[in-house]
Structure 1
Amino acid sequence: MNITKENTNELNAVLKLKVEQEDYAQRVENTLKEYRKNVKMPGFRPGKVPAGIVKKLYGRSILVEEINKIISEEISKYLTNEKIKILGEPLPNENTSREIDWDNQTTFEFEFDLGLAPEFEVNISSRDKVPLYEIQIDDQMISETKENYARRFGTMLKVEEITGNEILKGDFRQVDKNGEILEEGISAESSSFSLEVMKDKDILHLFKGKRVDNEVDFNVRKAFPNDNELASLLNISKDKVSVISPDFRFTIREISSFQKAEFNTELFDMMYEKDVVHNDEEFTEKIKEEVKRRLEQNSEYKFKVDARKTLMKKVKVSLPSEFLKKWITAINKKEITSEQIEKEYPKFEDDLKWQLIQDKIIKDHNIRVEEGEVKDFARSYALLQFRQYGLTDVPEDQLTNYANGLLSNEDEKKRIYDRLYEEKVFDHIRELVKTDKKKITLEKFNKLLDD
């Protein structure tokens, strides 16, 4: 096996391979022997088919398969031994590809294009300034957070009379212009809807003061102009909605009203651990802490965006663009058009440049993520998932099982590692740059995000 590399320029190279008979002969022979053990053919006992027949039937495909394996193995070994860093994967050179006579050739030559990873330095210092925003907490944020909790822990209660935007459950029956039930008309039982979504104010007024078993005749098209919504209520196909007579009678079977949760010790114990919050004053302090954490997360996100922009602008990273476009086409099995590639490539290039910058920082500063950190993250993630469903007192073994299940998925585990490496990279950047701290209102901060 002979492998040589010829650099086209700083970012592109051609890898030339020459595969001799001695490189593959024994491997092909061994594979043919394994095939022979399992080949079944009329007139021969299993494993007794003559070697010549097996070779005639399978020799060519085995030769191709073994040479492809050798090429893959040797390229990988060569790149590792020579410490050559590439982007994407080696691609067969289109200009030198030649017809191969697999039946008669004994020596095979191949050429592959390489996209070389660029060499660059990442120098970060206090001369690099990145804004760090401190979003101010106001009373409206506290009130809105309390309102969200009141709704989140609220309940549906049965009521006797319609007074506002209750949720109704009942039966629809189609009627004629005189209000008589159409015997062959459309009917739907146990349909539910909220008066809040009803669009016609005059029809909405007809429901005020009504009780269970009361009836209301109305035009369903005016009340529910959305075809999908109306089709679901009447249990008919969407294409029938536009052609039906819209007059219906609705018989009320159930009236429900959403009641917000009351802030008391019972709710506080449900939201937090028992006896952590005792009164509204302590609850307000808890809310402030939560709002502060949420705003700090928003601020941290903006810092990452700005830090990335700063480094992307400062660090010059050149890429083998034409090679990468060919590679994207190859891995998508030509299911992507050249127009799509040209449109989406700039974002791909930016993401790749940033990944290379991150990798350089990780290598230069010996940043590590330990397995224990990954387990801690998985446990914290599990706890967060349970809390989203209102479960705060989760047994430790249940958290551990959830976290272990998460880490058993290799894709999820890799995502956690990537997340932790990214966090450590930004922590390192924060230590080196000058953070320009600025106080700002949430409204102005959101405008910055939109820009």
Structure 2
Amino acid sequence: MNITREDIDNVNAVIKVLIEKPDYETTVEDTLKEYRQKSFFPGFRPGKAPSALIKKRYGKAVLLDEVNKVLSHNLTKFIIDEKLKILGEPLSNPEQQEIDWDKDDNFEFIFDIALAPEIEVTLSEDDKIDFYTITVNDEMIDNQVNYIKTQMGSNEKAEEVTDKCLIKGNFIELDESGEEKEEGIRPEDVIMSVNRIKDEEIKKLFIGKHTEETVIFDPVKAFDDNHEISHMLKISHEEAKELNSQFKYTITEILEFKKAGLNEDLYKKLYGEDTEVKTEEDLRQKLKEEIAANLLNSSERKFAVDVRNLLIDKVNPGLPEPFLKRWLKEANKELTDEQIENEFESFLKDLKWQVIKNFLVEKNELKAEEEETYELAKEVAYLQYNQYGIYNIPEEEIESFAKRIVEKPEEKEKLHFRIIEEKVIEVVRNKISIQNKEITQEEFNELLK
């Protein structure tokens, strides 16, 4: 076995791997012996076929498989041992000679590799980035208060139907003379939303009605939606398409949605029994802090993007673009040359950032600690509950959720990535000049365009 590396320039190199007969011969012979012991050929007892016959039948495949294993193992080991920071994967060199697996004993493989460029990242107070703090206004707080009142609201019994009501009742299909069909469609306890009735004249028939009163109408005309009619009348889609009948609907219950009131019971549901939120003023202040924290996340993401752009422009690592295009095509055979060209600049920018980030990680010995990973998993758990309007979550439930997250390797890897990314940004933050600017949400949105 002989492996050599020849540098073409600072980002391109060629690796030559020479695999000689002693590197694979013993394993190939042992494998063929196993094949012989397990083989069955007509005219020979099991396991007693001539070795020459076994070699003729299986020798080439076994040789090819073993040489590839030796190649893969030793190429990977060489890259690790030499501490080569490669980009992408090794590609077969265009000058690679065709191998004659029937005659050759020694095999030479030639690979092109791309090397991450040697870079230096020098930062000082001369490097400047703006940090944008988004101001929280009364409209944002009002919207959040209204959202909470809606989320925590409930349906309550009402005396009279309005266009905002839900009604529950029983359907009875009528015949052409307006009499009840004995074998007709008769679903019970059917809930309808009045505001979903598309025909305005039919909708008016319901407004002002009370429980035990009836409305005669055509559901097909009222809703103009076969799927909804099928679900409502508990019939098939085919039956719904053919339906042409009047129905009597008897109202058994009227429900009207009421938003939650702002009171201590609501505050405890939101923030727990021991909450310090006692009044509407307390709630608005709490919401202001929460909104500010969420907006700060947007500010931090914008800052991270600006840091990335600053460093890419400042360092601008030189990359082996021809090799990278070859590798992209090899790794993504479904992509056309035009697609690769169209997406290449974006790919190149991401790769430059990765090179810079790896340098800062190594230089500053950054890593994701287990405790940090677990705490971030808890944050993720809280946010997932919050998305559904659930705020007062027991700590043991959050901890259980977080443990399930970190037990999944792919999810844990995502958390590590976030932690390292944040630490890299923090390293930069501590070395450059930052000018804090307060702006409105609208102004901030314009910056993102």
CA distance in structure 2 between the aligned counterparts of 1:247 and 1:375, rounded to whole angstroms? 61
CA distance in structure 1 between the aligned counterparts of 2:162 and 2:312, rounded to whole angstroms? 59
Shift of 1:183: 8.6
| Structure 1 residue aligned with 2:166 | 167
| Structure 2 residue aligned with 1:311 | 311
| Structure 2 residue aligned with 1:341 | 340
Aligned in 2, Cα 1:166/1:33: closer, same or farther, shift over 3 Å?
farther
Contact 1:179–1:217, Cα closer than 8 Å, also in 2:
no
CA distance in structure 2 between the aligned counterparts of 1:226 and 1:321, rounded to whole angstroms? 56
TM (normalized to structure 1)?
0.85
| Structure 2 residue aligned with 1:92 | 92
The letter for the 1-side match of 2:83 is: K
Q: Which runs of 5+ in 2 are unaligned?
A: none
Structure 1 residue matching 2:17: 3-state secondary structure: strand
The letter for the 2-side match of 1:84 is: L
Aligned in 2, Cα 1:231/1:81: closer, same or farther, shift over 3 Å?
same
Contact 1:90–1:112, Cα closer than 8 Å, also in 2:
yes
Please identify, of 240-249 and 363-372, the stretch whose mean Cα deviation from structure 2 is larger: 240-249
Q: Does 1:437 align with 2:430?
A: no
Aligned in 2, Cα 1:185/1:82: closer, same or farther, shift over 3 Å?
same
Shift of 1:311: 2.3
Structure 2 residue matching 1:104: 3-state secondary structure: coil
Shift of 1:16: 2.1
**1:261-340, aligned counterparts within 5 Å?**
261-276=260-275, 277-332=277-332, 334-340=333-339
The letter for the 1-side match of 2:375 is: D
Shift of 1:310: 2.3
CA distance in structure 1 between the aligned counterparts of 2:104 and 2:227, rounded to whole angstroms? 66
Contact 2:164–2:194, Cα closer than 8 Å, also in 1:
yes
| Structure 1 residue aligned with 2:369 | 370
CA distance in structure 1 between the aligned counterparts of 2:407 and 2:194, rounded to whole angstroms? 47
| Structure 2 residue aligned with 1:118 | 117
| Structure 2 residue aligned with 1:379 | 378
CA distance in structure 1 between the aligned counterparts of 2:418 and 2:327, rounded to whole angstroms? 26
> 1:14-47 deviations in whole A, cap 9, x for unaligned?
32222111111122233334555655678645x6
Aligned in 2, Cα 1:176/1:304: closer, same or farther, shift over 3 Å?
farther
| Structure 2 residue aligned with 1:257 | 256
CA distance in structure 2 between the aligned counterparts of 1:326 and 1:231, rounded to whole angstroms? 55
The letter for the 2-side match of 1:430 is: R
Aligned in 2, Cα 1:167/1:352: closer, same or farther, shift over 3 Å?
farther
Shift of 1:228: 5.7
The letter for the 2-side match of 1:407 is: V
Shift of 1:380: 3.3
Shift of 1:12: 2.9
Shift of 1:412: 0.8
Contact 2:220–2:244, Cα closer than 8 Å, also in 1:
no
**1:17-416, aligned counterparts within 5 Å?**
17-35=17-35, 44=45, 51-93=51-93, 95-170=94-169, 192-218=191-217, 223-224=222-223, 233=232, 250-276=249-275, 277-332=277-332, 334-386=333-385, 390=390, 392-396=392-396, 398-416=397-415
Contact 1:133–1:440, Cα closer than 8 Å, also in 2:
yes
- % of aligned pairs identical? 40
Contact 2:119–2:317, Cα closer than 8 Å, also in 1:
yes
Shift of 1:245: 5.2
Contact 1:386–1:394, Cα closer than 8 Å, also in 2:
no
Q: Which runs of 5+ in 1 are unaligned?
A: none
Structure 1 residue matching 2:436: 3-state secondary structure: strand
Shift of 1:153: 1.7
Shift of 1:131: 1.5
CA distance in structure 2 between the aligned counterparts of 1:237 and 1:117, rounded to whole angstroms? 63
TM (normalized to structure 2)?
0.85
Contact 2:164–2:195, Cα closer than 8 Å, also in 1:
yes
Structure 2 residue matching 1:366: 3-state secondary structure: coil
> 1:172-229 deviations in whole A, cap 9, x for unaligned?
6777888677899888666544333444444432321123454445565665456765
Contact 1:120–1:316, Cα closer than 8 Å, also in 2:
no
CA distance in structure 2 between the aligned counterparts of 1:232 and 1:322, rounded to whole angstroms? 59
Structure 2 residue matching 1:84: 3-state secondary structure: coil
Shift of 1:284: 2.4
Structure 1 residue matching 2:111: 3-state secondary structure: strand
> 1:287-326 deviations in whole A, cap 9, x for unaligned?
2221221221222222222222222332212333333233
> 1:207-262 deviations in whole A, cap 9, x for unaligned?
21123454445565665456765665566777998886597665545433222222
Structure 1 residue matching 2:6: 3-state secondary structure: strand
Structure 1 residue matching 2:430: 3-state secondary structure: helix
CA distance in structure 2 between the aligned counterparts of 1:238 and 1:343, rounded to whole angstroms? 46
The letter for the 1-side match of 2:432 is: V
Structure 2 residue matching 1:432: 3-state secondary structure: coil
Aligned in 2, Cα 1:219/1:304: closer, same or farther, shift over 3 Å?
farther
The letter for the 1-side match of 2:325 is: K
The letter for the 2-side match of 1:338 is: D
CA distance in structure 1 between the aligned counterparts of 2:175 and 2:256, rounded to whole angstroms? 32
